Amino acid sequence: MNIWLGLAGFGIVFFSAVLMLGLSVLYRKRPYVFRDIPAFTRLRQAVGLVVEDGSRLHVSLGRGSLTTPQSASALAGLALLRRLADLTSAGDQPPIATSGDATIAILSQDTLQTAAEFSERATFDPRMGRLTGLTPFSYAAGAIPAIRDEKVSANVLMGNFGVEVALLTDAVERENTFVLAGSDNLTAQAVIYASAQEPLIGEEIYAAGAYVDSGLLHTASLTVQDILRWLIIAAILVGALLALAGVL
C-alpha cells in the first residue's frame, strides 16, 4: 500500500471513529429512531417465548476465522449472543452457541461465561459454546443435532456461512421453530432468502446489536454506516459524471 493510499485509508477510519464517538454522545440526549426491520421485532418475540416456555436459544456463528476479514460477521454475531444471553438469563436453559471455527468457539464460551456471571446464573457449562466441525459441511452436520435435540425454540444464524446454511435452515424448518439468519457471504444470503423464515440481507447483520439495545455505540455505528454510504453514492455519481465528461 503506498503512502497516500495508506493516509486516505487512515483518514476514513479516523473520520468514522470520530463520527461514531460524537454520535454516541448525541444519542444520549436524543434517542435514535430505527427503521422497521420485522426480523428483529420477531426475534424479540421469539426470545420472550424462550424465557416463558423454558426452552433454549441457539446461536450459530458460522465459520469466519478471526485471522480473516470474515471474522467481522462472527464478531457481530458474538455481540448479539452477549445481548441475547442477557435477555434470556431469566429463562431455565442457557443459550447454546455453535461455530465452525475454533477461535470463535472459544470466544463464544467466553461470551456465555461473562453473561452467566453477570446474570448470577449458578453455573456456566463450557459445553454450551461448541465447535461442531472444521469443514463447511461437518460444521453444519454437527450443528443440526443442537437445533433438533436440545429443546431449542429460537435459532439465530449469524456469521460467515456458505451454501451449507441451507442444511441448518432446513433442520430449523423441520423442527418448526423460529430462525433469524444473516451472513456476509453473497451466496449464503441468496440461500438464506429462499430458505429462512426471517432473513437478513446485506449489512443488516451488522445492525443486529443496535436493534437489540446493545449500547449507544452500536446505534451510532448504524448512522456512521449510513453517512459513509451516502458519501460512496456521491463519489460514484461524481466519478460517473466525470467519466462521461471525459475528465477521468
Window 200 to 229, contacts with other proteins (CB under 8 A) = 201-203, 205-207, 209, 214-215, 217-218, 221-222, 224-225, 228-229
Residues 128-167 touching other proteins, rule: CB under 8 A, are: 129-138, 140-142, 145, 148-149, 163-164, 166-167
- Which residues in the 171-190 window bind other proteins by CB under 8 A? 173, 184, 186, 189
DSSP string, 55-94: -EEEEEEES--TTSTTHHHHHHHHHHHHHHHHHTTTSSS-
Question: With binding defined as CB under 8 A, does residue 63 bind other proteins?
Answer: no
Query: Is residue 178 within a helix (H) or strand (E), and if so which, with residue range?
Result: strand 178-183
Element (H, E) at 98: strand 96-99
Quick one: which segment of 26-34, 40-48, 87-95, 99-107 binds other proteins (CB under 8 A)?
99-107
Indicate which single residue of 67, 176, 244, 245 sits in contact with other proteins (rule: CB under 8 A).
67
Which listed residue (16, 89, 93, 119) binds other proteins by CB under 8 A? 16
Binding of other proteins by 95 (CB under 8 A): no
Could you tell me if 153 and 50 are in contact, meaning their C-beta atoms sit under 8 angstroms apart? yes
Q: In sequence order, what are the residues at sequence separation of 6 or more whose Cβ sits closer than 8 angstroms to the Cβ of residue 45?
A: none
Applying CB under 8 A, does 72 fall inside the site for other proteins? Answer: yes
Using the 8-state DSSP alphabet, how is residue 173 labeled?
H
Instruction: Report the residue number, 17 or 234, with the smaller CB distance to other proteins.
Output: 17
Nearer to other proteins, 60 or 169 (CB): 169
- Which residues from 18-47 bind other proteins, rule CB under 8 A? 20-21
Q: Is 46 or 79 the residue whose CB approaches other proteins more closely?
A: 79
Cβ-proximal residues to 40 (8 Å cutoff; 6+ apart), any chain: 180, 207, 208, 211, 212
Min separation Cβ 28 and other proteins, Å: 14
- Cell 456456566 sits at which residue? 124
82 binds other proteins (CB under 8 A): yes
Please state, in angstroms and rounded to a whole number, the distance separating the CA atoms of residues 50 and 34.
25
Contacts of 240 (CB under 8 A, 6+ apart): none
* Helix, strand, coil share of the chain (percent; to 5): 60, 15, 25
Interface with other proteins: number of residues (CB under 8 A): 89
Q: How far is the CB of 31 from other proteins (least distance, A)?
A: 18
